[in-house]
Structure 1
Amino acid sequence: MLGYVIAIPITILVLTLHHELSTRERAWPGGIFPAIYFIVFGYLLITKDLDINSSRDIFFYILGFGVFVGIWIDGRNSLKRKIKKELDKMKSYDMK
C-alpha cells in the first residue's frame, strides 16, 4: 500500500515533467524519458533481470514506452499549434 502512495505522485511528477520538456522549442529534451525507458528496459531484458512471465508483461512494457512517445509527439504538436497561432495573430495585425 505504501508503495502505491509513493509511486503514484512520482509517476505524475515524471509525466508532467516529460510533457513540459516535450513542449520546448528544441525536441531533444522531450526525448530523454523515452530514451531512458528504452535503454533501461532493454538492458534489463538483455541481462535477464526483468521477470517476464507472459506476453501480457511485454505488452505493458511496450505500452509504457508508447505512453512516453505519445506524450512527446503530443507536446511537439502542441508547440507547432502554438507557434502557428502566434504567426496567424501576427499576420492579422499586419493586414490591418
Structure 2
Amino acid sequence: MNDWYRLGIIVLVFAVQHFLSTRNERYLGSIIPIAYFVFLLYIQTTGMVDWSILKLILLIIVGEAFLIGYWISGRKVLLNKTEKELKKMKAREI
C-alpha cells in the first residue's frame, strides 16, 4: 500500500475518533479503540501479518494511547463547550 494512502487512512481514523469523542454520548469514542484492538488481534491470529509478539504489543499500546488520548481531549472539548454555553445562559438570565 502506498504511504500516502496509509497516511490518509490514519488521518481519517483520527478525525472520526475526534468527532465521536465530542458527541454527548461519552461511549461513542470507545468504538474505534476497541475496533483497533480487535482488528490487530484478528490480523495477527489469521496470519495476515507475521509480527512478533513484542511488535504486536507495541503497536497495540502506542495505537491505544493515541486513540484514548483523542477520546480524553474530545471529552474536554465538549466539557468546555458546555461550560461556555451555561455561562452564556446565566449571563442572559441576569
**Which TM-score bucket, shorter chain as reference?**
0.7 to 0.9
Equivalent pair of 1:18/1:33 in contact (CA under 8 Å): yes
Contact 2:37 2:60 in 1 (8 A): no
Within-5 A mapping of 1:7-86: 7-44=6-43, 47=45, 49=47, 51-53=50-52, 55=54, 58-86=57-85
Work out the number of aligned pairs and report it: 93
Separation of aligned partners in 2, 1:42 and 1:56: 12
Shift of residue 58, structure 1, vs aligned partner: 2.6
Q: Identity over the aligned pairs, expressed in percent?
A: 34
Aligned Cα root-mean-square deviation (Å): 2.1
TM (norm. structure 2) is 0.81
Q: TM-score, normalised by structure 1?
A: 0.80
Q: Which sections of structure 1, spanning at least 5 residues, go unmatched?
A: none
Cα contact 1:52–1:58 (8 A) shared by 2: no
Map Cα deviations across residues 1-60 of structure 1 (whole Å, 9 max, x no partner): x52021111111111111011101111221110110122234455x37453447465323
Change (3 A) 1:78 1:38: same
Unpaired runs of 5+ in structure 2?
none
4+ runs of 1 displaced by more than 4 Å? none
SS in 1 for 2:2: helix
User: Partners of 1:63 and 1:4 in 2: how far apart?
Assistant: 19
